Amino acid sequence: MKIEGFDKYIALGKDNAEAMVKSSTLAVKGFEELAKATQTYAASSAEKADAAMKALFACKTPAELADLQTKLARESVEAAIAEGRKFAELSQSVVTAALEPLNARMAAFQALAKSAA
């Protein structure tokens, strides 16, 4: 005895499982990219901090020190804003990519439900 439409639901379940695997794989890959970007930023920041300290200790007058501190503070804020944007964009692309297979499955399920109604 064959139940009408049962094969569609079996296929839907299989496709859902495959979408979960694909989504998880994309999420892991994205988190690896985020971790790599974070590590690169941390290394770059450490190098910049080292260079900044050397430059600060090389100042000969209080006015030179104040000017350099102002310049370094401005550069640090600008870099933090730029990196924040970069991480936000990367995070958004990771989430979007990871959710794409699941969104496709949700659309397929909705289409199947509408056709069954």
Does residue 55 contact residue 49 with C-beta atoms inside 8 Å?
A: no
Tell me what pLDDT residue 3 has: 63
Residue 80 CA to its chain's centroid (Å): 16
Residue numbers of the chain with a pLDDT score lower than 50: none
The SS3 call for residue 31 is helix
Tell me what pLDDT residue 110 has: 86
5 to 2, 60, 115, 117: CA distances (angstroms):
9, 83, 11, 12
Q: What is the pLDDT of residues 14-47, one digit of tens each?
A: 999 999 999 999 999 999 999 999 999 999 999 9
